[in-house]
Structure 1
Amino acid sequence: MFLRLFFFDKKAVVVVNAKVEVGYDLSKLEIQIDSLGKKIIINKIPKETINISPDIKYFDLQQSQFNTFSKYELNKINKKSIEKIKKTIAVTTLKSEAKTRLFEEFSKIYQLSATFGWQVVDNTDLEFSKSFNQSF
């Protein structure tokens, strides 16, 4: 009879809005310049970086007096929210859009080098590097 008076259930409604940026840090680009041979040698292009700025809000946080949410549980909810955002990023076009922007930046390098009679040597395994070499 005593246990029927107290409830130990917990519920939380969580709303997550996030700002997600996918890009390449070109300061980590590994290149060599051969001024005598007029060559720009690209050795390594960094992997894309993903920055997530979540805005997590808790609504309708229902807990009993005897069974409250701990900091550990709230942190676990936050981690699950961020993991869900990362899974969502995988099915969006954010990564391909970032690669397109990277492609545009490299096209500027190829165009400038061709204008001044330099050659760009690409030692990376990116798909678009072959199309640059054919264009210029």
Structure 2
Amino acid sequence: MFIPHEVIRFIIVGFMNTFNYYVLYLLFFHLFGWHYMVSHVLAFIISMIGSFFMNSYFTYKTKPTWKKFFQFPLTYVVNITVTSTAIFLLVEVMKLNETISPLLASVIAIPFTFIISKKILVKDETKTS
């Protein structure tokens, strides 16, 4: 089974981004004592900025622009909706631990993030080619 290099790079960046997000989440939640959802949203925003640059340079090998930078968060509306809903359901409904739930929610959001981020980051080059 052949997996395109782009998908492999996306997975690598995804692991790095998830690690960054999770470290920030744990810092905000455990060290600062902030509510799990506040910790999630703040860690998400910070890691999204890193994700933009990692996906631009490494995954899709495209030049980051201000236009793409400001469009990129729009693609994460789906991601933050999926992860926030999943975290809420995992913590409040399924009574799972607030420390583990963000990791599970991140896995659920991976396919959505790949498709949407590729549309934003690669679309300009396909029009000019």
TM over 0.5: no
Higher helix share: 2
Relative to the length of structure 1, the TM-score reads 0.30
Higher relative contact order at CA 8 Å, sep ≥6: structure 1 or structure 2? 1
Higher strand share: 1
Larger radius of gyration: 1
